[in-house]
Amino acid sequence: MSYCLSRFQTIRRPTTVVNIGSVGVGGSNPVRIQSMTTSDTQDIDATVRQSIALAEVGCEIVRITAPNVQAARCLRDIRKQFSAAGFAHVPLVADIHFLPQAAMEAVEHVEKVRVNPGNYADKKRFAVLEYSDAEYNRELERLHEAFSPLVLRARALGRSLRIGTNHGSLSDRIMNRYGDTPLGMVESALEFLRIAESHGFRQMILSMKASNPKVMIQAYRLLVERMQQESMAYPLHLGVTEAGDGEDGRIKSAIGIGSLLLDGLGDTIRVSLTEDSVYEIPVARALAAKTMSLWSQAPVDAPAAAEEIEPFRYTRRASAPVELAPGIIAGGEHPPRALVRATPAQWPALVRLGADTPAEGLIVAVHSVADLEALAAAAGAAAAPPAALVLDLAPDLSAEAVAPFAARARQPLVLLRRFTADDAGFRSFLALARRHHHTLAVSATSADVPALRSGLAAEPGNKLLITLADDAQPAGHAVGAYRALAAALRGAGINAPLWIRNTARTAVKPDSSFLSRLLDAALLTGTLLCDGLGDAVSIETESDPFRSVQLTYNVLQGAGTRHSKTEFVACPSCGRTLFDLQTTTQRIRAKTGHLKGVKIAIMGCIVNGPGEMADADFGYVGGAPGKINLYVGKTCVQYNLPQAEADERLIALIRAHGKWVEPVGVAPASAS
């Protein structure tokens, strides 16, 4: 798999160029930014206004839904008016799901048509069927007949197509042969690619969208592997569908899209937020700029030890559990721990943040013996906090200098220090930590691991936590450096928990904005967590410790590795939406956001299929104008509820399934 060369650096995957009007995607072109209008397409003036607003903030490709032939006809006037306003150079894309007739109309007017292979002239009744090979082939022949006219017309007009697979809308045929899996998503797209190639048409872009970043990442990687086997080099459109709004939506999008861009995969992106579309563009541009800045870095050598990461499925790295403080264990089957840099005066408030989001480790800088003495005085004046105390020791502090403080500490400590391959003090610190039942946090590079292994062999029985040294970012690629460190640890037989630290040195093209810090945290921590790496996390680029610990928990939730609140799967709205998604999402979040571990899907329509709610416990879905359908998993259990009643009916449904708890400080509602 040639793209795996970029596991330790960002080597862009070579692709053919696909032209969407005058905008080239793939090849040597930059990552292109796109978004989608949310107006009713048949409201031509509103759609043109939204298209102009998107183009003015840097959107390079504008997508518009065409749910029926009437809407598709409106694209002609939308294209004319958009061009007359000075945006002839910005291509328009028609978004098609169920109707080939709408696609055939749309291709006449816009530069690109997106089709969903699970919906386009295919069956999706979720029937339990077993397809024989002959039946399967007959279905493929039917698809060939249905899709070929669009391919031939696109070829004649010089248009491009996107084969946009969605995790939520796989056909019966795919579901019954491959299941609701990344492999099923890939096969669904390949069926359509082969039809187009049979007509000599290759102006195509592919996408593998899902609301779960792990599923999305695995599907794109598998797609590239399968395309390489068939000598295909089509560009990729990246996106996490139904990512949600606010910080959570930005984090989830950055984890899914950013992980793949760091792998060198991806040629155009859309950040899907349940907000006005113009707010998607700054996030997408910042994310693209950060990852593109790594493309020109000098090559680095891959580690000699093989990675244990399986790129097509999630498996957490095996590690030995280490108790950092009473009740706070990192590694093993325990969730990744949230550490935060803070002063002793801030500790009491940080550990009381909440039962679900406490600071579990408090990092304090120690530059000298005087700092240790001041820390001892502060600790002596207050009760020991119920969190790990991490002493970030300067490299010139010896074990002898630290020993007096370590000996009289009232609770186990975590001693963090940079160790190099020739550091004579390593064994002294090992002995000190073991003598007083402390944990030694080893900050090192992959190159240091063999020498550290030698010291560990001489001093067995240690409590260890491993993290990457701040000066160990090869070619500015912290993700690659952590992957190399994990591979080196595996080769040396060291299974200590791994601590992911977000510092100024791990940031990619940083600036002073909170968005930049959020994206860096999602890129580094989210990518590694989706790889199965990481037993402790600290986001030290955020100077406010309270903001830092909240961001840490949000990244952990976005990566699906720790849940501290309700998870929302909320679509970004488009012309098909049957209610106001933004206000509805905010309203439901206010009522249900305290339900830790519960996942609620809020979807404006069911066009992406109930499979998009595969991971959701409950669904709130537009069924008709002003009407809501409620789901439990993929099953619709209540139809056509008036929206005025739907919120309370959703809560009653959650209650009936035993997943409701009253918000803190709110008296339980009396039964009636």
Q: For the residues 44-49, what does the mean pLDDT come to? A: 97
Task: Indicate left, alpha or beta for 658 from its phi (over 0: left) and psi (-120 to 50: alpha).
Answer: left
> Of 66-75, 317-326, 378-387, 605-614, which range is least confident?
605-614
Are the C-beta atoms of 506 and 538 separated by less than 8 Å?
no
Collapsing DSSP to helix, strand or coil, 115 comes out as strand
Looking at the predicted structure, is the pLDDT value of residue 672 above 50? no
Amino acid at 210: A
Ranked by mean pLDDT, the top range of 2-11, 146-155, 635-644 is 146-155
Task: Return the higher-pLDDT residue of 489 and 346.
Answer: 489
DSSP state of 210: B
* Torsion sign, CA atoms 633, 639, 642, 645: negative
Q: How many C-beta atoms surround the C-beta of residue 21 within 10 A?
A: 18
Looking at the predicted structure, is the pLDDT value of residue 256 above 50? yes
- In angstroms, the CA 57 to CA 376 distance is 53
Confidence of residue 614 (pLDDT cuts 50, 70, 90): low
DSSP state of 513: S
Q: For the residues 458-465, what does the mean pLDDT come to? A: 80
State both tokens at 380.
Answer: 């002596």
Q: For the residues 273-292, what does the mean pLDDT come to? A: 94
Burial class (CB in 10 A: 0-12, 13-18, 19+), 541: buried
Are the C-beta atoms of 225 and 185 separated by less than 8 Å?
no
Confidence of residue 473 (pLDDT cuts 50, 70, 90): low
Looking at the predicted structure, is the pLDDT value of residue 577 above 80? no
State both tokens at 30.
Answer: 């930059």
- In angstroms, the CA 4 to CA 549 distance is 33
Collapsing DSSP to helix, strand or coil, 296 comes out as coil
Nearest partner of 208 among 229, 187, 177, judged by Cα: 187
Name beta bridge partners: 547: none
Which pLDDT score, from 0 to 100, does residue 582 have? 85
Which pLDDT score, from 0 to 100, does residue 611 have? 57
- In angstroms, the CA 12 to CA 33 distance is 17
Which pLDDT score, from 0 to 100, does residue 418 have? 94
For residue 622, give Cα distances in angstroms to 262, 606, 616: 36, 7, 16
pTM value is 0.92
Which pLDDT score, from 0 to 100, does residue 569 have? 79
Which pLDDT score, from 0 to 100, does residue 622 have? 86
* Torsion sign, CA atoms 369, 374, 377, 381: negative
DSSP labels for 239-296? Answer: -BTTB-SHHHHHHHHHHHHHHHHHTT--SEE----SS-GGGHHHHHHHHHHHHHTTTT
For residue 457, give Cα distances in angstroms to 53, 202, 575: 63, 57, 64
- C-alpha distance across the termini of the chain, in Å: 62
Looking at the predicted structure, is the pLDDT value of residue 606 above 80? no
For residue 370, give Cα distances in angstroms to 367, 374, 440: 8, 6, 21
Domain boundaries, the chain: 11-237, 322-558, 567-656
Which pLDDT score, from 0 to 100, does residue 397 have? 93
Which pLDDT score, from 0 to 100, does residue 654 have? 94
Task: Return the higher-pLDDT residue of 384 and 99.
Answer: 99
Q: Report CA 557 to chain centroid distance, whole Å.
A: 10
Q: For the residues 208-224, what does the mean pLDDT come to? A: 93
Collapsing DSSP to helix, strand or coil, 284 comes out as helix
Which pLDDT score, from 0 to 100, does residue 180 have? 83
Collapsing DSSP to helix, strand or coil, 240 comes out as strand
Collapsing DSSP to helix, strand or coil, 631 comes out as strand
Q: For the residues 510-514, what does the mean pLDDT come to? A: 88
Are the C-beta atoms of 620 and 586 separated by less than 8 Å?
no
CA atoms lying within 13 Å on the CB side of residue 512: 0
- In angstroms, the CA 215 to CA 230 distance is 23
Nearest partner of 175 among 140, 242, 128, 138, judged by Cα: 128
Looking at the predicted structure, is the pLDDT value of residue 294 above 60? yes
**What CATH number is given for 11-237 in this structure?**
3.20.20.20
Looking at the predicted structure, is the pLDDT value of residue 152 above 80? yes
State both tokens at 144.
Answer: 């060939």
- In angstroms, the CA 606 to CA 577 distance is 9
CATH number for domain 322-558, candidates 3.20.20.20, 3.40.50.620, 2.50.20.10, 3.90.228.20: 3.20.20.20
Burial class (CB in 10 A: 0-12, 13-18, 19+), 327: exposed
Collapsing DSSP to helix, strand or coil, 201 comes out as coil
Looking at the predicted structure, is the pLDDT value of residue 458 above 70? no
Confidence of residue 669 (pLDDT cuts 50, 70, 90): very low
Looking at the predicted structure, is the pLDDT value of residue 171 above 80? yes
Strand pairing class (627-632; 618-624): antiparallel
Are the C-beta atoms of 258 and 527 separated by less than 8 Å?
yes
Are the C-beta atoms of 205 and 159 separated by less than 8 Å?
no
Looking at the predicted structure, is the pLDDT value of residue 3 above 60? no
Which pLDDT score, from 0 to 100, does residue 434 have? 92
Percentage with pLDDT > 90 across the chain: 63
Which pLDDT score, from 0 to 100, does residue 133 have? 84
C-alpha torsion 20→25→30→33, nearest 10? 60
Looking at the predicted structure, is the pLDDT value of residue 667 above 50? no
- Indicate if 322-558 has the same CATH topology as 11-237: yes
Looking at the predicted structure, is the pLDDT value of residue 201 above 60? yes
Looking at the predicted structure, is the pLDDT value of residue 175 above 70? yes
Q: For the residues 353-366, what does the mean pLDDT come to? A: 86
pLDDT digits (tens, 9 = 90+) for 419-448: 987 788 899 999 999 999 999 999 999 889
Percentage with pLDDT > 70 across the chain: 90
Strand pairing class (635-642; 627-632): antiparallel
Q: For the residues 567-583, what does the mean pLDDT come to? A: 77
Which pLDDT score, from 0 to 100, does residue 671 have? 35
Q: For the residues 13-38, what does the mean pLDDT come to? A: 96
Look at the domain 567-656 and name its fold.
Sulfite Reductase Hemoprotein; domain 1 (3.30.413)
Confidence of residue 1 (pLDDT cuts 50, 70, 90): very low
Pure H helices in 561-601: 581-592
Which pLDDT score, from 0 to 100, does residue 139 have? 86
Q: Report CA 492 to chain centroid distance, whole Å.
A: 30
For residue 656, give Cα distances in angstroms to 68, 631, 648, 659, 661: 38, 13, 12, 8, 11
